[in-house]
């Protein structure tokens, strides 16, 4: 049997209309109603709003979590199961749901508060760099205060995070094929999120986690784990810690994974993995049509 990993994208993969074909399913209606009760607004309406409301952090994260968990449910209903799971930033919450660590409601309540805190963050900026000298970049980051490597996505694509002055200093000193500042409210995955992380810790602490049914690769610690306390401790560090996606990609190959299924809108993660690990079969499940195609493959 082919060893398979499910991976879940985070903020930046959202798109207007995502999940629309699933929202009409009877089994999805109950979760959408539950989500509206928790959030105070409709995931389906926000996802289909032409004003791109879905790209505002406050809405993006709960919408992605809801859409991706619906896809997980659909995959499971057709008999699919993963051998390993991982998620990029927000996607780690879906990975934990898929692994049975907590139920839909518990995860959504955590994601709701996370989105509120991150949406309210106003300190710092983030910038993506593509096509650069890694040694040079790492040296400049070390030499510059208040800047960290926030997302280590693959050997040729990263995101840095920190104060506006610090990020500008790094961008001015590192040659890159492309560098662009991201439209986000703060310096996510950096020490500048410490205040928000402390508030979130108070919400996360009393939540009961179960041992995972399949190993989870965490953003801050890309080593397979199933222990509930370990997974929870790793999640507490996620808001201020780096997303070590390049290492997660390498770990998938080291663990003998042969097939990676990206569950969620877009194909960001399979694109990143393809540039890090050749030889893995890569599939995207972002709709019912894609799920049907998976059934036939």
Q: Which residues are catalytic?
A: 89, 189
Sign of CA dihedral 163, 166, 169, 175: negative
SS3 of the chain: helix, strand, coil, percent, to 5: 50, 15, 35
Stated as kind and residue range, the H or E segment containing 102 is none
3-class state of residue 266 by DSSP: coil
Instruction: Tell me the CA distances in angstroms from 64 to 150, 192, 297, one per residue in order.
Output: 20, 24, 26
CA 115, CA 199: separation in Å to the nearest integer? Answer: 12
**Of 17, 63, 210, 188, the residue nearest 119 (C-alpha):** 188
- Strand order of the β-sheet with 259-263 is 216-217, 84-87, 4-8, 259-263, 281-285
Question: What is the Cα 105 distance to its own chain's centre?
Answer: 18
Alpha helices (H) in the chain, listed in sequence order: 20-23, 26-39, 43-47, 57-77, 91-98, 104-120, 134-143, 164-173, 194-204, 228-236, 245-254, 268-276, 288-296
């Amino acid at each position: 049997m082919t060893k398979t990993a499910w991976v879940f994208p985070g903020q930046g993969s959202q798109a207007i209309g995502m999940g629309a074909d699933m929202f009409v399913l009877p089994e999805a209606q109950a979760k959408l109603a539950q989500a509206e009760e928790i959030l105070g607004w409709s995931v389906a309406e926000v996802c289909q709003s032409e004003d791109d409301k879905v790209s505002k952090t406050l809405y993006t994260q709960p919408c992605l979590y809801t859409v991706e968990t619906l896809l997980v449910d659909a995959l499971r209903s057709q008999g699919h199961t993963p051998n390993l799971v991982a998620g990029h930033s927000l996607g780690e919450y879906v990975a934990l749901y898929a692994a049975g660590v907590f139920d839909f409601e518990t995860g959504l309540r955590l994601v709701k508060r996370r989105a509120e805190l991150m949406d309210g963050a106003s300190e710092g900026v983030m910038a993506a760099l593509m096509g650069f000298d890694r040694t040079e970049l790492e040296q400049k980051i070390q030499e510059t205060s208040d800047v960290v490597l926030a997302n280590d996505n693959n050997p040729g694509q990263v995101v840095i995070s920190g104060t506006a002055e610090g990020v500008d200093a790094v961008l001015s000193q590192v040659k890159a094929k492309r560098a662009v500042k991201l439209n986000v409210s703060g310096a996510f995955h950096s020490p500048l999120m410490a205040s928000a992380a402390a508030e979130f810790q108070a919400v996360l602490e009393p939540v009961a986690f179960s041992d995972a049914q399949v190993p989870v690769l965490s953003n801050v610690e890309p080593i397979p784990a199933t222990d509930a306390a370990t997974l929870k401790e790793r999640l507490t560090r996620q808001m201020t810690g780096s997303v070590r996606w390049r290492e997660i990609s390498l770990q998938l190959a080291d663990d003998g994974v042969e097939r990676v299924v990206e569950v969620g809108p877009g194909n960001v993660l399979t694109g990143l993995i393809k540039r890090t690990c050749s030889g893995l079969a890569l599939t995207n499940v972002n709709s019912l049509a894609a799920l049907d195609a998976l059934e036939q493959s």
